[in-house]
Amino acid sequence: MSAEYVPRCRSSPELATQFLASLSSNLILLLLSVYLFPVVLSGVQVTAYLVSVLAQARLSQTATPTASSNQQTSAWLLFTRKPTKSLTFWIFPALLVVFGSILYSVSDNTIGSIQAPFPSALDHTYDSTNNSRFDIVISMYTESPESVKTMIESLKTTSFLQTITPNVIVYTKDPHANLELLKSSTGADTIYQLENLGREGGTYLHHIVSKWDNLAEQTLFIQAHAHNIRELLPRINDYLVAGTGMLSLGFTGVTCDCNSCTDRWGWEDKWEVIPRLYEKIYDKTCDDNTQVLMSYKGQFVASGRRIRGISKAIYEDLLAAIASRDGWSHDAHYVIGPDSGDNPYFGFTVERIWGLLMQCTDLRVAYRCPSLLSGMGRAGKVEDCQCLDDVRE
């Protein structure tokens, strides 16, 4: 045998030590993260992680030592070849099974430890027999009628909406709009004209207040130029069902402290609207641990029973504030940036409180719901992203 011959070994003590150290540190950090920040780990995720770890172990098995360590490695192999094989085929899988079980357990315990939301006070006396099964309410200004028509047609092709006949209502705030022409060019069933005040939030509040006794069983509130329509349609397709009570169609997973609500986009509840609404809705004050689930982008689905689950006066007060040209909602001490009747800064607050108004404060939604871009995974459920009105809530 040549002196230059380098034996191909099954493993090396250095690689084994490095692998075990890396595996242990990674798992400790992962377990700590899962414990501190509630998450949901699917079987696919854990399995993929374990497979990658096993692959790394196999790679470390077949590594070839450098020439400088040949003598040391050859000597080590004489004594450790059999234990290393045993380690590979028995100890590693055993460790991975144990750690996998711990991951599942920590995840389940963490999600399960989240305080259950207060029961939603749905209006079970509301009779929608003579009302629309489903309304699509669109807030429009000077957007292209053709693009609105395309959006409407796309919405109607989603899995649930294609089984019914939605009623399309367009509210235009364009003072020069030709209502008959707009109706035919958009394909809407009804067109209303409103004064250009209060952004889309004012439009939705106006609809709720004016149609209080004729609200549809479910209503999709959306802007004429919808945000992220490419991801929005799959969200509707995956999650909208007959039992949907409140389904936000914007950013997911954003919560805040009820008594000091802020978000990463620079918005702050300086008016203390959220703790005041919370007290009116739930008849109790926020404590230091109360978290509220936020809504974004001014697009969501809500049921008539859930909308009417709180006092109509709450919606009327919000409408008066957002559609005003002056008053407390325009106080310069609280406003940041441009503020006017047609573009009130208070509109950003209304955009964020639809979940609270619809009594959808289940924090499990924040942790379970995937992003618009991700979409529902194989193990996903419709309740992951919404508050349901049926028994599954």
Mark which of 42, 77, 112 sits at the end of a domain.
Answer: 112
Assign residue 236 the CATH number of its domain. 3.90.550
Contacts of residue 180, defined as CB under 8 A and 6 or more positions apart, other chains included, come to: 191
| The total number of structural domains that make up the chain | 2
Give the domain range for residue 23: 13-112
Are both 22 and 154 inside the same structural domain? no
pLDDT at 124: 85
pLDDT at 59: 58
Check: CB of residue 345 under 8 Å from CB of residue 326: no
Mark which of 112, 144, 176 sits at the end of a domain.
Answer: 112
Taking residue 40's Cβ as centre, other Cβ atoms within 10 Å add up to 19
**How far is the first Cα of the chain from the last one, in angstroms, to the nearest whole number?**
74
Ramachandran category for residue 228: left, alpha or beta (phi over 0 → left; psi -120 to 50 → alpha): left
Are both 62 and 139 inside the same structural domain? no
* Longest Cα–Cα distance in the chain: 95
pLDDT in tens, the chain (393 residues): 545 544 444 445 555 555 556 666 666 665 555 555 555 555 555 566 666 666 665 555 555 455 444 555 444 444 444 445 555 556 656 666 666 666 555 555 555 555 566 678 899 888 888 899 999 999 999 999 999 999 999 999 999 999 999 999 999 999 999 999 999 999 999 999 999 999 999 999 999 999 999 999 999 999 999 998 999 999 999 999 999 999 999 998 899 999 999 999 999 999 999 999 999 999 999 998 899 999 999 999 999 999 999 999 999 999 999 999 999 999 998 998 899 999 999 999 999 999 999 999 888 888 889 888 888 887 789 999 999 997 444
Place of tokens 């998450």: 39
Please indicate, yes or no, if residue 5 is contained in any of the structural domains.
Answer: no
Burial of residue 229, with CB atoms counted within 10 A of its CB: 0-12 exposed, 13-18 middle, 19 or more buried:
middle
Q: What is the pTM of this model?
A: 0.76
Please indicate, yes or no, if residue 92 is contained in any of the structural domains.
Answer: yes
Are both 152 and 107 inside the same structural domain? no
Helix or strand (DSSP H, E) at 291: strand 291-293
β-pair type (190-193, 167-172): parallel
Taking residue 28's Cβ as centre, other Cβ atoms within 10 Å add up to 11
pLDDT at 298: 95
Are both 48 and 147 inside the same structural domain? no
Please indicate, yes or no, if residue 125 is contained in any of the structural domains.
Answer: no
Are both 40 and 165 inside the same structural domain? no
Are both 108 and 141 inside the same structural domain? no
Are both 290 and 162 inside the same structural domain? yes
Are both 263 and 195 inside the same structural domain? yes
Helix or strand (DSSP H, E) at 103: helix 92-112
Mark which of 81, 112, 143 sits at the end of a domain.
Answer: 112
Please indicate, yes or no, if residue 124 is contained in any of the structural domains.
Answer: no
pLDDT at 101: 66
pLDDT at 377: 80
